[in-house]
Amino acid sequence: MTEHGNRPTDTIRRRTVLRSGGGLLAAAAAGLLSGCSGSGGDSSGAKPVNKGGLLRIGCTGGSAKDTLDPHNPVIWPDHARAVNLFERLFVHDERYRVKPLLAESMEPSKDGTIWTLRLRSGVEFHNGKTLDADDVIASLRRIADPKAPTAGATSLSVVDVADLKRLDSLTVRIPLKAPYALLEDLLAQTVMAIVPADFDLRKPVGTGPFVYKSFTPGDQSVFTRFDGYWRRPAYVDQLHIIDFPDDTARVNALLRHEIDAMDNLPLEQIKLVEAQGCKVLISEPGAWTPLTMRVNAGPFADDRVRQAMRLIVDRPQMVRQVLRGQGRIGNDLYSPFDPAYNHDLPQRVQDLGKAKFLLKAAGYEGLNVELVTSNGIGIGAVETAQLFAQQARGAGVTVRVRKTDSGNFYGDKYLRWPFAMDYWFTRNYLAQVEQGSMKGAPYNETHWNDPEFVSLINQARGQFDEGKRNELLKAAQKIEHERGGYIVWGFKNQVDAYAAGVSGLVPTRSHPLSDYRFRDFSVGG
């Protein structure tokens, strides 16, 4: 799609920033720039008081494969666009608790096989159409379409989408193929956006606080405030979400006043940008940047090799060096905020001797592998790969780090790399499993399909007794901890930065920059 909303000077200015490399950061370090300072700087979380103006957000990554499809987001800018153009039936708040959004309520039948959804009244799409039951039915069927399944299709496999029924304009009967206890959490995932029944991706319409104006994949997207928004409208008049595959270019853009806020501030730049008058927002989400091993290919098909690779990692060193202390160690499990998180499993620590023993027993003594990574994955991805390669030498393993750009990493080979990295936002355990750890999951990068694990997950889906469900999920986690394809070495703090005149940011356990909820941001303070 062509770009119609840019001013020529904006495009020229951005290209200059992208070419500038580290020169601007060097000048800032030497004290030659005024940086982000402005009049009336505000602290994180303060109530916005200014209305109007343009909000420019720098997002990590981006390529010609960028999308506006809310049901198929892949990289950071895709998620930022989806959150601001579209909305879900349910949403997670800043503490990662499920809250109704477009839904007013949803109740299960006694046997848990039918849920009755009641929609909020008076919600309008950007084109003036009123949200009703038909839109919900069409959205769920689009997500689960077997001819063109989207990222949420596996999660919705429990829903009998063919038998969804409109009871009245605001009520939907949702039949399930089997009982499912956590349907609200499932429908709160980013990929579960509600779109109008006649949705056209070429002219995307949602119920979110911003309206689509223009979009250039790999460059930027332009949105305007939706004055008919059912809640308090956004403070700013216009929103630009700009791709920045290069970390240095993104920081330079902030220091040059080319953008007002950015996600994923390089950790080594925290003091520098603060010295230039910028603000830094630190959140403690459940985000993770795992190393991913394909369990059905090459050496990683042997679970002894996978166990050895997990034993190679010096997790405290990873947190100290890669995250500069901005994070906490992991135990090869995700979803740390889930009530079912298995805290009883012993913390895995580096054991090079045992790693060597396992590799020799598996016939892979002196293993030589390639690890694929990219800056487009997020802060610390390349450094993680490099440090892991250093640590692996102690077990006699040679790791060749291959750094590629965002477009290539998330290109045709994505989800097929034998040994690579990726990033995930916060999710609860069952929802995350259905996105990445089940056969047919849209992002099953490890190709994990353990029958015992699958059986436990299927039992947990239909268990409405929270205590019993948590025990099933803990048992599933134990299997994945021992035999899975992930190395979850830690959880990184989310570190974002913004100009002094920007306000409305608060820490969150989910996406960067206050969960990408730009409705609450204001500029010009």
pLDDT the model gives residue 352: 98
For residue range 282-297, what is the model confidence (pLDDT) as tens digits?
A: 999 999 999 999 999 8
CATH of the domain at 214: 3.40.190.10
Residue 221 shares a structural domain with residue 162 = no
Average pLDDT over residues 485-504: 96
Q: What is the pLDDT at residue 233? A: 97
Specify whether 367 is located in the same domain as 479: yes
Confidence band (pLDDT; 50, 70, 90) for 28?
Answer: low
**What average pLDDT does the structure give for the chain?**
91
Q: Is the dihedral of CA 313, 394, 370, 451 positive or negative?
A: negative
- 164 and 76 within one domain: no
C-alpha closest to that of 477 among 453, 495, 458, 449: 453
- The single residue listed with the structure tokens 């008081």 is 49
The percentage of the chain sitting over the pLDDT mark of 90, rounded to a whole number, equals 80
240 and 134 within one domain: no
Question: Averaged over 354-358, what is the pLDDT?
Answer: 98
497 is a domain residue: no
Q: Looking at the predicted structure, is the pLDDT value of residue 487 above 90? A: yes
- 503 assigned to some structural domain: no
pLDDT digits (tens, 9 = 90+) for 375-417: 888 878 999 999 999 999 999 999 999 999 988 998 899 999 9
pLDDT at residue number 273: 96
- 29 and 103 share one domain: no
Q: What is the mean pLDDT of residues 347-376?
A: 97
HSE of 171, CA atoms in CB hemisphere, 13 A:
7
Query: What's residue 252's pLDDT?
Result: 97
User: 392 with 314, same domain?
Assistant: yes
Domain membership flag for residue 218: yes
Asked if residue 448 and residue 301 are part of one domain, the reply reads yes
Overall domain count for the chain: 3
Give yes or no for residue 347 having a pLDDT over 50: yes
Give the pLDDT of residue 7: 30
* Per-residue pLDDT at 21 exceeds 50: no
Summarize the confidence of residues 133-154 as an average pLDDT. Answer: 95
CA distance 329 to 332: 9
Let me know whether 384 and 453 are in one domain: yes
pLDDT tens-digit map of 423-476: 998 999 999 998 899 988 889 999 999 999 999 999 999 999 999 999 999 999
Residue-number span of the structural domain to which 321 is assigned: 291-492
pLDDT digits (tens, 9 = 90+) for 222-252: 999 999 999 999 999 999 999 998 999 999 9
Average confidence (pLDDT) over 362-369: 98
Q: Tell which residue, 63, 79, 61, 74, has the closest CA to residue 381.
A: 61
**Contact assessment for residue 212 and residue 151, using Cβ atoms and an 8 Å cutoff:** no
Residue 336 lies in a domain: yes
Domain CATH for 462 = 3.10.105.10
3-class SS of residue 389: helix
How would you classify the pairing of strands 54-60 and 261-262?
parallel
- Does residue 241 lie in a domain region? yes
Q: Do the domain assignments include residue 120?
A: yes
The domain boundary, picked from 192, 226, 245, lies at 192
- Among 505, 506, 510, 511, smallest CA distance to 55 is for 505
Same domain assignment for residues 301 and 430: yes
pLDDT > 80? residue 35: no
pLDDT at 19 over 60: no
506 domain residue, yes or no: no
Let me know if residue 455 belongs to a domain.
Answer: yes
- Does the structure show a pLDDT above 90 at 86? yes
Task: Provide the pLDDT for residue 107.
Answer: 97
Output the pLDDT for position 13. 36
- Tell me: do 359 and 337 sit in the same domain: yes
Do 325 and 447 fall within a single domain?
yes
> Which H or E run contains 303?
helix 303-312
Q: Per-residue pLDDT for 505 more than 80?
A: yes
Confidence of residue 22 (pLDDT cuts 50, 70, 90): low
User: Which 3 state secondary structure label does DSSP give 154?
Assistant: coil
Mean pLDDT of 484-489: 98
Write the CATH number for 165: 3.90.76.10
3-state secondary structure 226-264: CCCCCCCCCCCCEEEEEEECCHHHHHHHHHCCCCCEECC
- Do 362 and 431 share a structural domain? yes
- pLDDT of 29: 54
pLDDT at 31 over 90: no
